[in-house]
Structure 1
């Protein structure tokens, strides 16, 4: 009995070994015997729309759909790279979509689930961009573009993101402690799980006189990272191909 959490896989044709690792893991006993699999954003390096006819989205959909067909629910929460993922792909891939900031009860512990980028409030440049691209108008405009134009836009966005990351202090791009506390208070929880920052760790801290817990999921750039939660236990582990 366990629930599994992954995030920030950033699946991309430039890292075929990671896509293979993802497929192998989802086909294995760890996932097929789980109570649920949660993917908390940035499943792919860039999502240009549910109508993308490339092979990678098809492979991804086959892998997650097989998990769902085996009787394991697969929950998906959009990240900053795949927020254009919609109902059509979710249906093909067997995904149950979650809103950022959803609370799920995990074996008796209400737990706040987030991608994590909204908590990085010190990065005001990123937050301004985020607000702009999440509007229905921006999404509709982009999704109306031809696929080739969207691919070019995604490539430019990745280039801009790398430039911003290289020019910004790491502390600014990390979560803000006050934003974390505010989100947990609003949700009424003592545990938060998120990704985005690529800094896997389990942080325990005081929240209004009680011990709280923030669990950060690792990325999948060079290896896999999985959080396993079972009644009374949790473990962050590394996967290698």
Structure 2
């Protein structure tokens, strides 16, 4: 069965060896090896401090992906935790970088791929921070720091993010339906796949009088790892627990 796969929000780090093991098993699996492509829709890493990271952890993930990329096409879309991942790492890891809004064809139907954080428009503080972190000026300043300073800065940002989430309602941190519809109309699609919210599920609705679907990918937590598989002939979706 011809198929493509989608994952997001693994949040890999040296502190999550169980998720690293899950990821390695997935990359070694026949499910991946028989796939036409794997799309990683952001937050593969809990934090990415730059392609010049000399740590054994960064080298291990790079090698894992490089091997997987030798038999399956790998595509990567930046998330809010790994926006500093660049062409150097992607090239070494056999991955192709995608823009933050990417349309692909699946079974003759256009499908929009996003990390998904740009849809959380009710969280205005987050959107301001997102705009800052994605700016070339901020990223240039970050990469000019020493690696120890970048590690410290990433830890500070994660701490601030956690503190902010603790006092926000869950609804504010979810996607805004109007933003979803505006984004889908912008790209003339009726099918959207994204991650970020850690609220996996399928949402069917009507868009300009036509059936539309938004599929949310699951995060990995060391106990459960879920992959979205889509049949490239029929377009049928299937959630795989690995």
Q: TM-score normalized by structure 1? A: 0.97
1:37 alignment partner in structure 2: 38
- Work out whether residues 122 and 172 of structure 1, in 8 Å CA contact, stay in contact via their aligned partners in 2: yes
The equivalences for 1:67-216 within 5 A come to 67-70=68-71, 72-216=72-216
- Structure 1: distance between partners of 2:241 and 2:154: 29
What is the aligned partner in structure 1 of residue 241 from structure 2? 238
Q: Distance in 1 between matches of 2:51 and 2:5?
A: 25
* 1-structure distance, mates of 2:28, 2:195: 23
- State the Cα deviation string for residues 105-126 of structure 1 (Å, max 9, x = none): 0121210000000000000000
SS in 2 for 1:61: helix
Looking at structure 2, the residues matched to 82 and 66 of structure 1 have their Cα atoms a distance apart, in angstroms, of 21
Aligned-partner SS, 1:66: helix
Matches within 5 A, 1:9-88: 9-70=10-71, 72-88=72-88
1:186-212 per-position Cα deviation (integer Å, ceiling 9, x unaligned): 100010000000011011001010010
Aligned mates of 1:62, 1:108 — CA distance in 2: 34
Following TM superposition, by how much is the alpha carbon of 1:225 offset from its aligned partner in structure 2, in angstroms? 1.5
Per-residue CA shift, 1:46-95, capped at 9, x if unaligned?
A: 0000000112221111111112112x110000000000000000011011
Structure 1, unpaired ranges of 5+: none
Q: Shift of residue 237 of structure 1?
A: 2.6
> Which shows bigger deviation, 230-239 or 49-58?
230-239
SS at match of 1:112: strand
The TM-score, its normalising length taken from structure 2, stands at 0.97
Runs of 4+ in 1 over 2 A off after TM superposition: none
Deviation at 1:27, TM superposition (A): 1.1
* SS of aligned partner of 1:104: strand
TM-align CA RMSD = 0.8
SS at match of 2:21: helix
Structure 2, gaps ≥5 residues long: none
Once the two structures are superposed, residues 159-190 of structure 1 have per-residue CA deviations (whole angstroms, 9 ceiling, x without a partner) of 11111111110000000000000000010001
Residue 24 of structure 2 aligns to a residue in which SS? helix
Aligned length: 238
Q: Is the 8 A contact 1:192 1:214 kept in 2?
A: yes
SS in 1 for 2:131: helix
Contact 1:37 1:75 in 2 (8 A): yes
Query: SS at 2:172's partner residue?
Result: helix
- Rounded Cα–Cα distance in structure 2 between residues aligned with 1:238 and 1:13: 23
